[in-house]
């Protein structure tokens, strides 16, 4: 049985300006610790790949130390990491990803899509169609090309993108980076891994099209050690008959509370 872990919206390097300075440092450090827990989870579950559906970094201007620390946090899982940029860390000609390359910080087991790209993982018999953002906002569906792309027969066919599924938000919301609600079906995908909405949501039932991400904590009061923390992931397993089973896993140490100081 093929098994992979789907996560998104880490936003490493985020600043917590509305918190006390000591608390802001604690929250920033907690993001790295959560990524290490995700990597350990992937190793413990012996997943075939980890899919990171965008917004790995919070901005284009994070420090070299932050970049190195993030990629060091991936070390517990030695298998393939498939990663795309989102709207916060879009693949600009000059930005966080080009800086990470100059630092030689990208690990050998990272499959990073800075343009529309297909990664074939022969050992796992998974093919991953990636639609990264190359600018912060687009108004065309960057997953359109998935429909016509041929992939090896019998392999698990997975898409990864970052944006808003059309038709699910209020009509008065101008949503950038649109994704067709039936993309998984039209593109014959076994699973479409999405990021952007800072939470987990299953979009369709007959084929799986799912958001997974970290909740935003900016401006919220926090409590340590509670379930439902700020890093989330989904573990998906596919049998040879392509039936997808999903199990949510929470790996955060903080959660939002309704009360404020």
What share of the chain in percent tops pLDDT 70? 73
Distance CA(261)–CA(257), nearest Å, equals 11
Chain centroid offset of residue 248 CA: 14
Contact 9, 195 (CB under 8 A): yes
Residue 170: burial class (beta carbons within 10 Å; 0-12, 13-18, 19+): exposed
Between these two residues, 74 and 207, which has the higher pLDDT value? Answer: 74
Write out pLDDT tens, residues 135-187: 999 999 999 999 999 999 999 999 999 998 887 766 656 578 999 999 999 99
Beta-carbon contacts of residue 101 (< 8 Å; ≥ 6 apart): none
Distance CA(67)–CA(14), nearest Å, equals 12
Contact 83, 132 (CB under 8 A): no
Contact 160, 121 (CB under 8 A): no
Check whether 241 has a pLDDT greater than 50.
Answer: no
Structure tokens belonging to residue 64: 């070299």
Distance CA(240)–CA(252), nearest Å, equals 32
Q: How many CA atoms lie within 13 A of 132 on its CB side?
A: 26
Structure tokens belonging to residue 122: 């022969």
> CATH number for the domain including 223?
3.60.21.10
Query: Phi and psi of 138, rounded to 5°?
Result: -130, 160
Expressed as residue numbers, the domain containing 113 is 2-257
Cα→Cα distances 170→57, 164, 175, Å: 27, 12, 9
DSSP string, 127-194: EEEEE--SSS--SS-TTGGGTT----TTSEEEEEEESEETTSS-TTS--SSEE-TTHHHHTT-SEEEE
Check whether 261 has a pLDDT greater than 80.
Answer: no
* pLDDT computed for residue 198 by the predictor: 67
Contact 238, 253 (CB under 8 A): no
Per-residue pLDDT, averaged over 200-218, amounts to 52
* pLDDT computed for residue 18 by the predictor: 83
Chain centroid offset of residue 53 CA: 3
Query: pLDDT band for position 17 (50/70/90)?
Result: confident
Count: domains in the chain: 1
Give the number of other CB atoms < 10 A from CB of residue 210: 21
């Amino acid at each position: 049985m093929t098994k992979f872990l789907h996560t998104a919206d880490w936003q490493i390097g985020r600043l917590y300006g509305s918190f006390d300075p000591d608390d802001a440092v604690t929250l920033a450090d907690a993001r790295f610790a959560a990524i290490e827990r995700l990597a350990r989870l992937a190793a413990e579950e012996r997943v075939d790949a980890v899919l990171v559906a965008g917004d790995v970094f919070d901005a284009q201007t994070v420090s070299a130390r932050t970049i190195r620390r993030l990629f060091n946090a991936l070390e517990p899982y030695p298998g393939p990491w498939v990663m795309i940029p989102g709207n916060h860390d879009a693949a600009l000609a000059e930005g966080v990803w080009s800086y990470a390359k100059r630092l030689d910080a990208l690990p050998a087991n990272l499959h990073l899509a800075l343009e529309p790209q297909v990664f074939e993982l022969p050992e796992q018999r998974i093919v991953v169609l990636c639609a990264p953002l190359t600018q912060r906002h687009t108004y065309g569906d960057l997953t359109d090309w998935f429909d016509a792309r041929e992939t090896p027969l019998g392999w698990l066919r997975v898409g990864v993108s970052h944006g808003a599924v059309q038709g699910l938000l209020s009509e008065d919301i101008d949503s950038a980076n649109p994704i067709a609600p039936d993309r998984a079906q039209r593109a014959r995908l076994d699973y479409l891994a999405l990021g952007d909405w800072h939470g987990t949501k299953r979009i369709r039932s007959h084929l799986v099209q799912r958001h997974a991400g970290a909740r935003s904590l900016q401006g919220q009061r926090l409590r340590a050690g509670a379930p439902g923390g700020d890093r989330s992931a989904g573990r998906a397993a596919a049998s040879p008959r392509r039936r997808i089973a999903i199990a949510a896993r929470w790996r955060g140490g903080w959660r939002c509370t309704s009360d404020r100081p």
